[in-house]
Structure 1
Amino acid sequence: MRETDRLILRPWRVSDAVIQHELWTERDPRVPPHRRLSADGHPSVTDLKERIRTGSQPGLLAVELRSTGEVIGYCGVIPRDGSDEPELAYELLQRFWGQGYATEATRAVIGSVRDHQRLWASVRDWNTASRRVLAKLGFVETGQVEPDAVHGNSLLTVLEL
């Protein structure tokens, strides 16, 4: 668990599945299909409850407003494919964008990363808001790009710790 002036970052509760589902429904249509709701509505709230119950999302914490207890998204570190170094991941409900919550939550997570020299983050080239958050935190674009003509290129960024 992590705390900031305005936020509490805590493990997911089964009751938070509704918020996770809302995040899935709000995703930009350019996001790859495996990260969006399928045509038949999966993952459903029931699917997401089961994922929370079984702990299949290690490293990602619910981001909760201290003032209201409302969950507004997630933030955390996940294993980076092909590396023993962690990758930052975060997503907030759209109604909470532009209020500094993503920067605040990610700073709290970065402060908890120990025993690593670097923290990575990948971001779609069209996601200017996330690119600004990462730049504020000191992440630098590496020049490594995973091309994707359909969903937008993924840019690899790194923060030296």
Structure 2
Amino acid sequence: MEHPSACGRAIVLETERLLLRPWRVSEAVVQHEMWTERDPRVPPHRRIGADGRPTVEDVEDWIRSRSESDFLGLPAAELKGSGDVIGYCGLIENTHGRENEPELAFELLRRAWGQGYATEASWAVLGWAQASGYRRLWATVRDWNAASRGVLAKLGFIQTDRVEPDEVHGDSLFMTKQL
């Protein structure tokens, strides 16, 4: 991984094949496509609803509302050679009561699956997190999501004893990694 750089105040991470950088409004269609591709077992609040929301316009508004900060967030994952955005990878606030221990989150368009991009992007994020002083990261993953569990295993995340049972959407497994 190359060192993070600043684009204005925004954080940009670079790997051999990817740039992790802020989303552009014109890329809302990519985020919307990810919403449409999500597995039916994903909880409804993370899928396109019966009302068609979020729409591309909703996603555009979300991108416009994001302010640049010193926190990584969920930057777009752009292929360096083509400039195509294939998903996101970054850190989100840990909502499970662990201050200063954010969660790693990634999602790619289906056409980008199986090519090592999630692992590559995640290594860049882990490097940034460590350089930024974080000591531990978390990740939650549904038990049925073998691909994401595989990425987390490659990164050295270990499963904890914490599991949130969910008979409808699949149990959420809590994983952690010391940096």
TM-score range, shorter chain: over 0.9
1:122 to 117, 140, 147: 140
Structure 1 residue runs without a partner (length 5+): none
Runs of 4 or more above 2 Å deviation: none
Number of aligned residue pairs: give it.
161
1:96 to 112, 117, 120: 112
Q: Which amino acid aligns with 1:93?
A: L
Q: Does the residue aligned with 1:69 lie in a helix, a strand or coil?
A: coil
1:43-71 per-position Cα deviation (integer Å, ceiling 9, x unaligned): 00000000000007970100000010000
Show the counterpart of 1:32.
43
Instruction: Give identity over the alignment, percent.
Output: 64
2:149 to 126, 131, 138: 131
The two structures have a TM-score, normalised by structure 1, of: 0.97
Counterpart mapping for 1:52-91 below 5 A: 52-55=63-66, 59-81=73-95, 82-84=97-99, 85-91=101-107
1:2 to 13, 31, 48: 13
1:108-153 per-position Cα deviation (integer Å, ceiling 9, x unaligned): 0110002221000000000000000000000000021010000000
Distance 1:110 1:11 in 2: 17
Distance 1:116 1:72 in 2: 27
Which range moved further: 77-86 or 136-145?
A: 77-86
Matched, 1:111 2:127: yes
The two structures have a TM-score, normalised by structure 2, of: 0.88
Distance 1:95 1:56 in 2: 29
Q: Which amino acid aligns with 1:140?
A: I
Q: Which amino acid aligns with 1:64?
A: E
Structure 2 residue runs without a partner (length 5+): 1-11
